[in-house]
Structure 1
Amino acid sequence: MAAAKSDISDLKDIQLLVDHFYQLVQHDELIGPIFSAAISDWEPHLQQMYRFWNAALFGAPGFTGNPFAKHARLPIAPQHFKRWLELFSQTVLNLFEGEKATEAIHRANLMAEMFMRRLDSLRNNNRTPIV
C-alpha cells in the first residue's frame, strides 16, 4: 500500500518539488536542451525557483526578478510550455496532494498561458523584450 501523500506545506516541500521537477527537465528530450543552453550553473536557478514558489504559494518575501524577461529571448514555443506543464503537474501529483498542490498546478498553468500570450504579442509585433 502506498503511503498517503501530504500537501505542500513549507519551504522544504517546495525544495523537494523544485529539485524533482528540474531533474526531469534536465533529462527531457524536448525542453532539456533549452534549459541546458540557458542555465550554466543550476544552483542559483534552483535557489531562485525556491524563492519564487515560496512567494507564489505562501506569500513569503524574498523573490525578486522578472520571470518573463528571462524567458522572452529563449527559443520556446507552445509545445515547450505544454511539456513544461506536463512535467510540472506530473511532479506535483507524484509527490503531493491537497489544496496547495492544486494551487501550484493552477498557478503554473496561468503563468504558462500568460507567457505564451506575451511571447506571441512580442514576436508578432517584432518587439524586443525589455530585460
Structure 2
Amino acid sequence: MSTWRDDPNAIPPWNERPKCHCGFRTWLQVWTDPLPQGKKGCRFFKCPDIDDDFKACTFMQWIDTRPLGRVSLNEVETKGQYYARHTQAREEARLAREEQERRVRQQQIRLKGKEDELKRW
C-alpha cells in the first residue's frame, strides 16, 4: 500500500506532520537550491513561521533521502493552502473539544440525578 511519502505530489494528512520547535504543524516544501548537492527536488518539512515574524525556529526535517527524479520543483503547498489546513484542523479540534465537554456535562447531570435519588432513600 502506497502512502503520501511515496507520492511526490501528495500532501500529508495534518496529524502526520511533525511539530516544529514553535509548536505548530510543519509546512511541506520542495528543495530548489542546487546545494547541498543531491538534495534538489527533495521534500522537507519546515517551520511555517505563522506570524511571518523573524524567529529563531530552525526546524527542518527531510522527507526524501534522495531526489525524486523528474519531480517539478513547484511549491508543493502554498502558505494559503497551509493556513487553510491549519484553520480547518483547529476548527475540527475545537468542535471535538466542545463535543467532549457536552458529553461530560451530560454525564455530570445524570450522576447528579442519581445522587439526588440516593439522598431520598
TM-score with structure 2 setting the length? 0.31
Bigger fraction of residues in strand: 2
Please identify the structure whose Cα radius of gyration is greater. 2
Higher relative contact order (CA 8 A, sep 6+): 1
Bigger fraction of residues in helix: 1
TM-score with structure 1 setting the length? 0.29
